[in-house]
Structures are given as C-alpha cells and as structure tokens.
A and B are shown apart, each in its own frame.
Chain A
Amino acid sequence: MKRILSILLIAIMGMANAAFAQNGVRASYKTDINIVSVNDVHASIENMPKMAAIVDSLRAIDKALMVISAGDNRTGNPVNDMYSDPSYPMIALMNQIGFTCSTFGNHEFDSGQEGLARNINESNFPYLCANIFPDQELGIQCEPYKFFYVKGVKICILGVVEAEFGGIPSTHPNNAKGMKFSQAEEAIRKYLWLRNECDVFILLSHIGYDEDVEVAKKFPEFDLIIGGHSHTQIDGGEVHNGVLITQNENKLKKLTHTVLVVENGKVTGKSATNIDVKNYPKTNVAAKCLVDFFSDNPEFKRVLAKAETPFSSYEELGIMMCDALKDFSGADIAYCNAGGVRFEDHPAGDFTVNDVLRLDPFGNTAVVVNVTGAQLHDMLIACKSVDDHGFPFTSGMSCEVTYTDKNRSGIKDLKLFGPDGKPLDLKKKYKVIANSYAIITSDIPGDDQGEDLNIGTANVLMKYLEKKKTVNYQGRKCLKENF
C-alpha cells in the first residue's frame, strides 16, 4: 500500500510540474535538457545519415532530446539545390530525423519567396525568426519565438537572422522582395520580456560568432546561444558573460550536444561537447535510403535548352556562360576565366542540368563591379596571368591579345573592342559581371571591389538556357590571339 501511494505521489508531482511549467510557473525539480544543434549544414546530405545515427543514440538515453538548426540548411549541393522542388531533400531528411525547430539562415531565401513558403510548408518543424516581416500574401509562415515544454521545463527559443546585406540577409535581393527585416539586436530587445516567462531562454542565431558574443555581453538573460553563419568551430562551447555559445564549422562535419541542468526553474549547469559527424562509425539506414533516392535524381537529366548546332570550343561555351551572366544582371560586359569552362565540345541537341553542372562545377557566384575600360583592361591581364588555360572569354566586348610567346606566358599588348567593333572607351565606366573566382584573380584596381549577387553562376546559366529554349554558338568568337 505504501509503495502504491509513493508511486501515485511521484506521478502526481510529475503531472503537477508539467502543468505548472505550461502555466508559466517554474519547474521545481532537477532535470537535464539535452540538445543536439547543427548550423550551416549547407545541404551536406551525405552526412545526414550519420547525424541521424547520433540522434538515435542520444534519443535512446533521452527521448525528449531537442534537435535544433541555426540555419543555412540548404545551398551548397546540387543534389539538394537543383532538385525539382529545391531543398526538399534536406527538409525530408530533417523531418525524418525529427528536428524540433530551425531559424532561417540567409541561404534559406535562395529559392525566392515561393520556394521558401513551400519549404516551410514541407517542414514538420517550425522556423523561428523575430526580425523578419514578410508580406502576408507571400504565405511565409514563421514565428518569432516558441515555447517548448520538455520534461516539465518551459523552454523559450527566440530566432534571429543576419540582415547585413543592405538591410536584408545575404541572398540575391530579388529573393527578399516583399520582406522587411530589422536588425537582430532590435528584435532581441523587443522580446527580452520572454526571460520572465520561461525556465530556459535560448537564442537561435544566424548572425555570426562575433555578434553572438556581443549579444551575450549585452543580454545575459540568455542561457544559451545556438549560433550559425560565421562557420566558427567552437569546441566545447564558450561562456561569455554567463551565456553559453555554441557553433560548428559548416557542412555538418561536427554537431554540438549541449546539456542544460535545470533546477527549480533555473539553469544551474551547462556544458557542450562536439561530436564528429563525418567520422561517426554508424549510419541510420532509413536516412541513407533517402539520400540514395535523392542522389539518383532524374532532375539532372532535365533538358534546359536545345543546342541547334554543336559546341566545338571552350570559347563558344565560354561566350554562352558570359552571355548568361550579362543577360541575368543587365551588365554591359561579362567575362569568365578560361579555366572556368570545363569542357570544350558538346553535340547538337539536349543541353541538360547535368551538362551545366559539369561545365561550371565550382560553386562560384556572380559578382558585379563598376570599373572604367582602362581598369577592365588591367583586370583581364591580371586574370590571365594566373590562368594557364588562356585568356578570359567575354560577352558585350571582344579582345585582341598579343602574347610574348607561343606558350601565352606573357602579354605584350591587349586591345578591347565594344560590341560595335570600335575600340572600347577606356575612360567610360562599365557595369561588369564575372564569376567570383575571376573577380578575385583580376586584382581590381580602385576602391570598388564589387558586390556578390549571391547567386551561383551555374544557376544563372540554367536560367538563361531555360529562357532561351534554343541556343546556337557555332563559330562565335570573342578573342583574337596574336603570337
């Protein structure tokens, strides 16, 4: 009888604790809150089955394990990003693992407003972000914060994303149309009252390590900041002003397992350890099956355009890549380093997604810069000087280059011509676009070093081919070489 009474008493106390916690009254017993957190996974779906196995192991110890992402779940793997429903593979895997929540990273916006709204609807977990204000008609469902009731503890998670790219997250500006953003700190101040409504207060941040440290210094109200964006590997977590900060390098090489000890409604202990995901010896079979399914993707065979004639040189393919960049950006001139064109012939007929990914496999982004004709002249020479493959290809202009020798090892003279065939005005300013590698190797003179448009050059080419439907570059030239 005594034993039955004891069991009943324990059960009643447990229920009462849970009920109190739900009503904003602090939990009055000691428990551990286990959290697995990731950030900047960037669609490394190949590591997700190992992460799933780690989560399985931890759930075997604590069924109430929380699994949290600090954003940038997508962008970085064509298998995910070029899927017919972009980013669905990552979301399917996150659903399968059973994520508790995610915040937005700047790359969550990369599929535009419709893509983001669709991705949110496909997710079995909420997105938390307090400094985004989307127009209602976009259908972007997110909450600034959410309460989670875990083992009788009331946990509040507040989400924020960086908005440092001219007041929006670092994505192509078109992707953020119809959405307003405030600075993360402003949003944090607005929601500090949440501290008094919960036992555990967590900031889920995609603003970067330095900013997380600043937040911790200014707002010791947080128990934990789960960070992302700067790809900073914080081994074991760091405590700043009493706030534990965690983050990992990108691509899911590691994850963080955080344990918060909660006693009488307060966090009395906190620790974080990193688990090596990449080298974890176990794999979750169901997640692996999903990855295999998504990797065998018919999307890569999708025809983007028909080539009316065969391509028979790097130059023809390079001009097409430059035309795509110029068309996308409305720039006057586009150029591409010769080594950025990865094959030199292609038969007439179908030009597929896979062809584009083979032609431009480096994950470069499109960068725009405003320079004079004279500056462009020097940039093209600098770009060639570090590229054994040859002189850059162009659109919106052509070049006549005279080399010092037959090996093209040095340039004696370079003349630039406009689309009308007349010499390019060297004093005039031009809007120029190129891939990020070409821009960096071009040693741009002057203060304007350009700005990333936050879109992959392969993606730009795919859009161009889909728009054109048919292409014909046979015999196209942009370069005259003299030896």
Chain B
Amino acid sequence: MIVKVNKEEVRIFKGATAKHAILRYILKKKMEISALDQIKVFDSQGHKIGDDAPLKEGQSITFKI
C-alpha cells in the first residue's frame, strides 16, 4: 500500500505500522536508522500517534526527530 510520510509517498506492506513507513522513508532518504529511536509521529491533523499505530492505504503521517 502507499502512504505519505512527511508529504512523500512510500510503499509498504499491508498491515504495516507508522514505524515501518518511517523506516522506509529514512532508508529512502539515506538517513541514519538510529534516528528511529527519537521520533515523534503525528497524523495528518497534527495529533501525536504511537509509532506502532496501524496505517491504512493513503494515510498521511509526519515525524519529527
């Protein structure tokens, strides 16, 4: 399925969580994987969500380190 992380599309497996999508984004951007330990994740409305929140097709999330 396709979701958006920080406005950019990433492809992930069905049933993936926010952490999986962000990991995919981090790898795509060639960022350090260790950044995953310090992230704060938000939904499209700006609510904080857990990093193992389930995602659905087309969902948008953002994260901050």
**Cα distance A209–B44 in the bound complex, in angstroms:** 11
Do the beta carbons of A232 and B14 come within 8 Å of each other? no
Do the beta carbons of B16 and A250 come within 8 Å of each other? no
Per-position binary interface string of chain A over residues 191-207, scored 1 when its CB falls under 8 Å from any chain B CB and 0 otherwise: 00000000000000000
Do the beta carbons of A232 and B47 come within 8 Å of each other? yes
9-residue interface stretch from A10-18, A57-65, A301-309, A446-454: A446-454
Per-position binary interface string of chain B over residues 20-52, scored 1 when its CB falls under 8 Å from any chain A CB and 0 otherwise: 100110010000010000000001010111101
Min CB gap A437→B, angstroms: 8
Chain A residues contacting B15 (CB-CB under 8 Å) are 165, 170, 365, 367, 451-452, 454
Do the beta carbons of B50 and A251 come within 8 Å of each other? yes
Do the beta carbons of A229 and B54 come within 8 Å of each other? yes
Do the beta carbons of B12 and A440 come within 8 Å of each other? yes
Do the beta carbons of B27 and A441 come within 8 Å of each other? yes
**Cα distance A443–B52 in the bound complex, in angstroms:** 20
Chain B residues contacting A444 (CB-CB under 8 Å) are 11, 13
Number of A-B contacts (CB under 8 A): 80
Min CB gap B41→A, angstroms: 9
Chain A residues contacting B24 (CB-CB under 8 Å) are 440, 443
Known contacts A233-B48, A436-B20; A451/B13 CB under 8 A: yes
Per-position binary interface string of chain A over residues 155-177, scored 1 when its CB falls under 8 Å from any chain B CB and 0 otherwise: 00000000011000010000000
Chain B residues contacting A40 (CB-CB under 8 Å) are 50
Q: Is A124's beta carbon under 8 Å from chain B?
A: no
Q: Which residues of B contact A (CB under 8 A)?
A: 1, 11-16, 20, 23-24, 27, 33, 43, 45, 47-50, 52-54, 56, 59
Q: Which residues of A contact B (CB under 8 A)?
A: 40, 164-165, 170, 208-210, 229-234, 249-251, 365, 367, 369, 386, 436-437, 439-441, 443-444, 447, 449-452, 454
Provide 27 A-B residue pairs closer than 8 Å at the C-beta atoms, listed in order of the A residue.
Answer: A170-B15, A209-B45, A230-B43, A230-B54, A231-B49, A232-B47, A232-B48, A233-B47, A233-B50, A249-B49, A249-B50, A251-B50, A367-B13, A440-B13, A440-B20, A440-B23, A440-B24, A440-B27, A443-B24, A443-B27, A444-B11, A449-B1, A449-B12, A450-B13, A451-B13, A452-B13, A452-B16
